[in-house]
Amino acid sequence: MATQQFAQQDRQPPRGPVTSRPAPAEEPLKTGRVKWMDHAKGYGFIVPDDGGADVFLHKSVLFRCRVDRVQEGDAVRYRAEIGKKGKAATYVEKSAR
């Protein structure tokens, strides 16, 4: 019986800290500034430097990328994907511009 419980435990996914998702090397990061961020609601927007449409930024991306906080006007480098509701950041880091 003990071996059956041990075998079942081995099949479960490993648990541990959430790690940051590295940016793929083949696509360069884009630059922009935080338009606004409401940490209580958990989301905000990035204004791209290239003048494109605003990019949605969710708090889960900040957490995954180990960015503590961003504030209005902060320079960032990011990667975005087009989703059902428009562009959304999938990776973000603060930039020292």
With 60 as the cut, is the pLDDT of residue 61 above it? yes
Pairing label, strands 30-38, 43-48 = antiparallel
Span 55-83, average pLDDT: 95
Closest CA to 31 of 80, 67, 86, 70: 80
Hey, how many other C-beta atoms are within 10 angstroms of the C-beta on 63? 13
pLDDT of residue 22: 54
Radius of gyration (Cα) for the chain, nearest Å?
A: 18
Span 9-13, average pLDDT: 52
pLDDT of residue 16: 46
Rounded-to-integer distance, Cα 86 and Cα 73, Å:
22
Place of tokens 């935080």: 34
Rounded-to-integer distance, Cα 79 and Cα 90, Å:
6
pLDDT of residue 83: 87
With 50 as the cut, is the pLDDT of residue 60 above it? yes
Tell me the fold of 29-97: OB fold (Dihydrolipoamide Acetyltransferase, E2P) (2.40.50)
Span 14-33, average pLDDT: 66
pLDDT, tens digit (0-9, with 9 covering 90-100), for 74-89: 999 999 999 889 999 9
Q: What residue segments make up the domains of the chain, in order of their start?
A: 29-97
pLDDT of residue 26: 64
